[in-house]
Amino acid sequence: MTVYYTTAVIVRARAKNIGAADPSDAEIEEYIAEAEGLVDAMLGFSLQGNFSSSKSMHLLVRQVTTDIAAFYAIAHDPSGFTSTGEAALILDVIYTNMLRGLTLLKDKRIQQRIQEA
């Protein structure tokens, strides 16, 4: 599976303690693919094939995609955390970041700047 906006390594770094099962890169890439679909839907266009982490506006896309994929991974298996409370706290922080990022991606001015980058 080809993913464009983030990597399994970046998602693992964002979602420390992903789970006792330690999902494979392929499993994380499935979460990334779902996240990319959501990000593309919010943008109304796709950067796949044109994404570049050297473009600052594209880093917003990376951050949001990483947060969504990390959220999916932790929600799927929170057993790597010391308690469900700890997992819930991390999910809350990631969820807040996701919502902020998705709100920005809905903004037509931000979308235009991303496309022009």
68 is a domain residue: yes
* CB count in 10 Å sphere of residue 25: 15
Burial label, 67 (beta-carbon count in 10 A; 0-12, 13-18, 19+)? buried
Scan for tokens 């594209």, then name that residue.
58
Of the pLDDT bands very low, low, confident and very high (cuts 50, 70, 90), residue 82 is confident
Q: What pTM, to 2 d.p., does this model score?
A: 0.92
Instruction: Work out the mean pLDDT of the chain and round it to a whole number.
Output: 92
Closest CA to 105 of 12, 52, 37, 14: 37
Burial label, 95 (beta-carbon count in 10 A; 0-12, 13-18, 19+)? middle
Q: What is the pLDDT of residues 95-109, one digit of tens each?
A: 999 999 999 999 999
- Mapped onto helix, strand or coil, the DSSP state of residue 72 is helix
2 is a domain residue: no
pLDDT at residue 6, rounded to an integer: 95
Structural domain harbouring 27: 8-116
95 is a domain residue: yes
Task: Count how many domains the chain has.
Answer: 1
CB 55 within 8 A of CB 117: yes
93: tokens are 């922080």
| Mean pLDDT of the region 36-58 | 93
| Mean pLDDT of the region 15-42 | 88
Q: Which residues contact 94 (CB under 8 A, 6 or more apart)?
A: 14, 15, 67, 70, 71, 74
Of the pLDDT bands very low, low, confident and very high (cuts 50, 70, 90), residue 92 is very high
CB 57 within 8 A of CB 117: yes
pLDDT at residue 80, rounded to an integer: 86
